Amino acid sequence: MGQAGIARGATGTAWSPWAPLPLAMPPDSEVLAEILGGGQAFRWRLEPGGEWSGAWSRNRVRLRHGPEGALEWSAPMALAAASGPALGDYLDSGRDPRELADNLPWRSDPHLARCIASFPGLRILRQPLGETLLCFLCSATKRIVQIKQMAALLAEAHGSRIGSEGEPAHALPTWQELAEVSEADLRACRLGFRARHVHLTARFLAANPGWLEETGGAPYPEARQRLCQLPGVGEKVADCVLLFGAGRLEAFPVDVWILKAMSRRYGLEGWKPAQVAQFGRSHFGALAGLAQQYLFAWERMWEKAESGNRKSEKKQIG
């Protein structure tokens, strides 16, 4: 594959040659895993070869580390011309994550400083608004791997094909497409009680064209309020949609991990989610959502390490 020309995978899909992806502060493999697989997006998977394959809108790409820690991308030949710019936009390549993080109040917040240092180059993705809404409607009381599974089933069953073959080969269904899908068929995608929310939201959005796009452009408080009118969307999901699907970095989603983090690291024991959200926006400021992602990543890493420690203790004692 070193020579010029196209690569052909085992499935027969022709992929463009690997091309460099210019990125300030490219993430190492751990941080890349946090960006693509850490709960912002649910359409990426780590292939056996070590590269990531993902899909959004009508795009499909593969991503891997090249020489010097830089990132390289490849896409199905027919889509490759559009995929480069699209991937740059998706990864917010125009911004330097170090500069963004430097505008967080880490100087007066030792825990935040520690989180930022642990995930250098962490980025907030710029995902399509509709897809972000769909995935986070599915997210309620589910683990990330399960949300990925639901998204994959929805795409396969109800999304249009992207490119020719290989995985993931289907786009997520649009809201127009979802409006034609019965609640029972959504349940068949293992959505459980979330199927009703997706179904009702789809009917609403199909009946109100432009509503979602208008919401994405509205000022934060109004956008949040509008999203919360959708069935299945509460304050947490609304904030995730605005943060990951509309680039609204002031949104501060509060899930169980952030509740733990704010309780353990900031002493906010027993605080309600709405109170924590208010605290987060005011303490972390205009980039609160970025701070949130650092806290989220750090807390999950910490708990994983903690459970690992307990296991090895048990081993030694028993």
Q: Footprint of DNA on this chain (CB under 7 A)? A: 38-40, 139-146, 187, 190, 192-193, 196-197, 228, 230-238, 240, 253-258, 272-273, 292-293, 296
Given the complex with DNA, which of 54 and 84 has the nearer CB atom?
A: 54
Residue closer to DNA, measured from CB, 44 or 296:
296
CB of 230 to DNA, least distance (A): 7
The least distance separating DNA from the CB of residue 146, rounded to whole angstroms, comes to: 6
In the complex with DNA, the residue whose CB is nearer, 78 or 144, is 144
Smallest gap from residue 253 Cβ to DNA (A):
4
Closest CA to 226 of 254, 239, 252: 239
- Is residue 198 within 8 A of residue 213, CB to CB? The reply is no
Residue 101 in contact with residue 290, Cβ under 8 Å?
yes
d(CA 4, CA 10): 19
**213 is written with which tokens?**
């796009």
Residue with Cβ nearer DNA (45 or 142): 142
Q: Least distance from C-beta 171 to DNA, angstroms?
A: 21
Q: Is the dihedral of CA 27, 29, 34, 35 positive or negative?
A: positive
Residue 248, classed as helix, strand or coil, is coil
Nearer to DNA, 23 or 125 (CB): 125
Nearer to DNA, 75 or 135 (CB): 135
Residue 97 beta carbon to DNA: minimum distance, rounded to whole angstroms? 15
In angstroms, give the least distance from the CB of 13 to DNA.
28
Q: Which is nearer to DNA, 16 or 139 (CB)?
A: 139
DSSP for 72-92, written as a single string: EEE-BHHHHHHHHHHHHHHTT
User: In terms of CB distance, is 80 or 150 closer to DNA?
Assistant: 150
Q: Measured between alpha carbons, how far is 213 from 130 in angstroms, rounded to an integer?
A: 9
Give the count of beta carbons closer than 10 Å to the beta carbon of residue 146: 15
Provide the minimum distance between the beta carbon of 106 and DNA in the complex, in angstroms, as a whole number: 19
Based on its alpha-carbon atoms, the radius of gyration of the chain, rounded to whole angstroms, reads 20
Q: How far apart are CB 27 and DNA at their closest, in Å?
A: 15
For residue 305, the 8-state DSSP code is H
Task: Provide the strand spans (E) within the chain.
Answer: 7-8, 14-15, 19-21, 44-46, 52-56, 59-65, 71-74
How far is 133 from 44, CA to CA, in rounded Å? 17
Which class for 4: exposed (0-12), middle (13-18), buried (19 or more C-beta within 10 A)? exposed
- Residue 153, both tokens: 């089933």
Amino acid sitting at position 195:
A
